[in-house]
Structure 1
């Protein structure tokens, strides 16, 4: 039996398909409504407004990313592989979801100089997940004294990989280079472990 997605899910799917590839500002609500096959009142009943829709689409995307990343961590064998699993997870994740031009969170943040509180919270959740999980995974590899500097480096490399996607680099090549650079940063930090 073919189960149709709910109206809410169709709106979220249309938002990912359109707003996260074309840009939030460049995607009118009417286009999202047309793609989802729903009336304006439905959007407002479920999400309040366009920003509410974008916020919940980001929240759903973060939940999916969290699951994909955790799966990559669970499949990794060593603490070092678990720490660097964010890079292969990115490749797998991009195969399974609607691909954004680069990172939906960075794209929305760039287009939202004054986000409302809920959107701001959703954007911060992505950064929080990234930094807290990397910090947790880094301690067994480099020790507590070197974690903050290494996490900052890894976040920078990860963000650079996402930026290279926007510049048109092949995703697998960008991830491969990011993984190489991140691995060198981990080795350097592990070498200074006291």
Structure 2
């Protein structure tokens, strides 16, 4: 028989689900406690406060995103496909977790103009992962000199896809369109770059 989620896990699940669907500011501590079926003392004992709970929920979500994205990279057959796998991963990630209105990290950043250090570091970790991995994947395709430019352009397209999801676009259609635009950016940067050994 499967073990029941701990109080800590229930708090993380509740915080993530509510933040993803309603936003952080509108989600009260009482709503999280009610969803998780725990007392205030349990929340404060595990996380200190609401921001501590949100921070830990984001860290867990980032770890899951990291895993899903890496799986999609591993499944891709070519260097170009590995670079564009971020869009496949986005679609798969959203099917695996509570569907958010767009990006939970961007949502929390928008709603929290003055985050504490831990939350700020966690939000920055999402950006570092996105830019860093795309730059690493872009290097073998367009060369190390052009890789940062291509990574930034793909992040811009990726962020646009998230914005379209917020506007109500179908996730699979938006990610497919984003992939196509990112492929154009790849070819444009690649055409201007020195030949890269295959």
Residue 2 of structure 1, CA deviation:
2.9
2:33 counterpart residue number? 33
Is 1:19 aligned to 2:19, yes or no?
Answer: yes
What CA distance in whole angstroms lies between the structure 2 residues aligned with 1:164 and 1:147?
26
1:148 counterpart residue number? 148
Is 1:54 aligned to 2:59, yes or no?
Answer: no
What CA distance in whole angstroms lies between the structure 2 residues aligned with 1:2 and 1:139?
44
Q: TM-score, normalised by structure 2?
A: 0.97
Residue 101 of structure 1, CA deviation:
0.7
Which residues in structure 2 correspond to 1:69-84 (within 5 Å)? Answer: 69-84=69-84
Which string of whole-angstrom CA distances, capped at 9 and with x for unpartnered residues, describes residues 89-111 of structure 1? 11111110111110000000000
1:186 counterpart residue number? 186
1:85 counterpart residue number? 85
List alignment gaps of at least 5 residues for structure 2: none
Contact persistence 1:16–1:100 (CA under 8 A): no
What CA distance in whole angstroms lies between the structure 2 residues aligned with 1:100 and 1:3?
27
Q: How many residues matched?
A: 194
Which string of whole-angstrom CA distances, capped at 9 and with x for unpartnered residues, describes residues 102-124 of structure 1? 00000000000000000000000
List alignment gaps of at least 5 residues for structure 1: none
Residue 19 of structure 1, CA deviation:
1.7
Contact persistence 1:12–1:56 (CA under 8 A): yes
What CA distance in whole angstroms lies between the structure 1 residues aligned with 2:186 and 2:12?
37
- Does the residue aligned with 2:176 lie in a helix, a strand or coil? helix
Residue 190 of structure 1, CA deviation:
1.1
What CA distance in whole angstroms lies between the structure 2 residues aligned with 1:103 and 1:47?
23
Is 1:118 aligned to 2:124, yes or no?
Answer: no
Q: TM-score, normalised by structure 1?
A: 0.99
- Does the residue aligned with 1:156 lie in a helix, a strand or coil? helix
What CA distance in whole angstroms lies between the structure 1 residues aligned with 2:145 and 2:47?
44
What CA distance in whole angstroms lies between the structure 2 residues aligned with 1:152 and 1:142?
13
Structure 1 runs of 4+ aligned residues shifted over 6 Å read none
